[in-house]
Amino acid sequence: MIERIAILGTGLLGTSVGLALRAAGYRGSIAGWNRTPEQAEIALQMGAIDSVAKHFLEVGRKCDVVLLAVPIHVTIDFMEQMAGLLGPHQLVTDVGSTKREIAAAATRLYNREGRAAFLPGHPMAGKERGGASLADANLFRGATWLFTTPREMKGTGFSPYHEEQSESAALAPEAISPRATELIREWRDWVAKFGAKIVDLDPARHDELVAWVSHLPQFISTALSALLEEQVGGAPELKEIGGRALREMTRLGASPFSMWRDIAHTNTAQIDAALQAFEQRLAHLRENLRTPALRDEFDQANRFRS
């Protein structure tokens, strides 16, 4: 049923989705739009899209599925601009790294009578540098693709909620049209064909979990890289001494602020809590450099990796 797809944002993720769709056998059209047209031209040359759109609203109106692959604040901005122009025969989905604010916007603006369906998504894949030219049809192979199916999709068969957290949040399933329900099913099938493992999570649980397993490691690597730049940045031969271990621990230090600003802004409390817990853990280890408690920390760390 999906015959026309619009990819709004042809950076690393958007362009990789286009390539993955083609590699998985998708034969419909893929229109691409990007704020800087050069990135869309690269995606076109790579075969990730087959046309470059001039304006995201125009192309969005004409497609069965609209994929938002732009920073989180732009995603919410586009959701607001598009909501009144799209219809119940359409599905909008995204790849944003935090999901509470996007899921709230989806409930507010989509997934109701006369409106398009919105399925918040988050592929746990990427590279420390962005851009269409680094895109890869296999970027999602073996990765987890999280969906935070909104509560109002209860009854459509996709929502994984086993227990009810808020009665008022459970809207009528007829808020999602049968056609949109089928588009959701098909989109999830394509994601599975990319080689990704689909996991459904509540939006709040999603943001809490990624604060631990994704945002915490990123901010640690950024702080470590920044500190070492101060300590040994002027002496490349000293960086080399650290070898593979140091390279790995600072690889994420190359990640761009432009992407992480929105994550820090939309998941502040959870990231703050994870960082504070880590600072306490590290201080505990430091205070026990010469006591037997150091063994307990190594033992527990070893268990995580076993």
Residues 211-270 contacting a second copy, CB under 8 A: 212-214, 216-233, 237-243, 245-246, 248-257, 260-261, 264-265, 268
Local structure of residue 211 (DSSP, 8 states): I
76 binds a second copy (CB under 8 A): no
304 binds a second copy (CB under 8 A): yes
17 binds a second copy (CB under 8 A): no
Site for a second copy in 105-124 (CB under 8 A): 124
**Which is nearest to 7 in space by CA: 27, 23, 30?**
30
Taking the least distance from each CB to a second copy, the nearer of 29 and 138 is: 138
Question: Least distance from C-beta 232 to a second copy, angstroms?
Answer: 6
Question: Least distance from C-beta 159 to a second copy, angstroms?
Answer: 18
Taking the least distance from each CB to a second copy, the nearer of 151 and 206 is: 206
* Sheet of 29-33, strand order: 51-52, 29-33, 4-8, 65-68, 91-94, 117-119
Question: Least distance from C-beta 11 to a second copy, angstroms?
Answer: 17
Near a second copy by CB under 8 A, which window of 43-51, 79-87, 100-108, 284-292?
284-292
* Contact present, 265 and 73 (Cβ < 8 Å): yes
CA gap 207, 203 in Å, rounded: 6
Question: Least distance from C-beta 219 to a second copy, angstroms?
Answer: 6
Question: Least distance from C-beta 177 to a second copy, angstroms?
Answer: 31
Neighbouring CB atoms inside 10 A of 174's CB total 11
Q: Phi first, then psi: what are they for 52, rounded to 5°?
A: -105, 125
Q: What is the largest CA-CA distance in the chain?
A: 66
What token pair was written down for 302?
């070893």
CA gap 157, 184 in Å, rounded: 10
When binding is defined by CB under 8 A, the residue of 157, 160, 272, 293 that contacts a second copy is 272
Helix ranges (DSSP H) in 24-137: 37-46, 56-61, 72-83, 100-109
Taking the least distance from each CB to a second copy, the nearer of 100 and 115 is: 100
* Contact present, 255 and 218 (Cβ < 8 Å): yes
Q: Phi first, then psi: what are they for 16, rounded to 5°?
A: -65, -35
Taking the least distance from each CB to a second copy, the nearer of 167 and 230 is: 230
Site for a second copy in 124-153 (CB under 8 A): 124-125, 128, 143-144, 146
Helix count and strand count (H, E) for the chain: 13, 9
Site for a second copy in 179-208 (CB under 8 A): 197, 199
When binding is defined by CB under 8 A, the residue of 6, 66, 91, 271 that contacts a second copy is 271
Question: Least distance from C-beta 120 to a second copy, angstroms?
Answer: 15
* Contact present, 297 and 285 (Cβ < 8 Å): yes
Q: How many residues sit in the footprint of a second copy (CB under 8 A)?
A: 81
Taking the least distance from each CB to a second copy, the nearer of 23 and 294 is: 294
Q: What is the SS3 assignment for 112?
A: coil
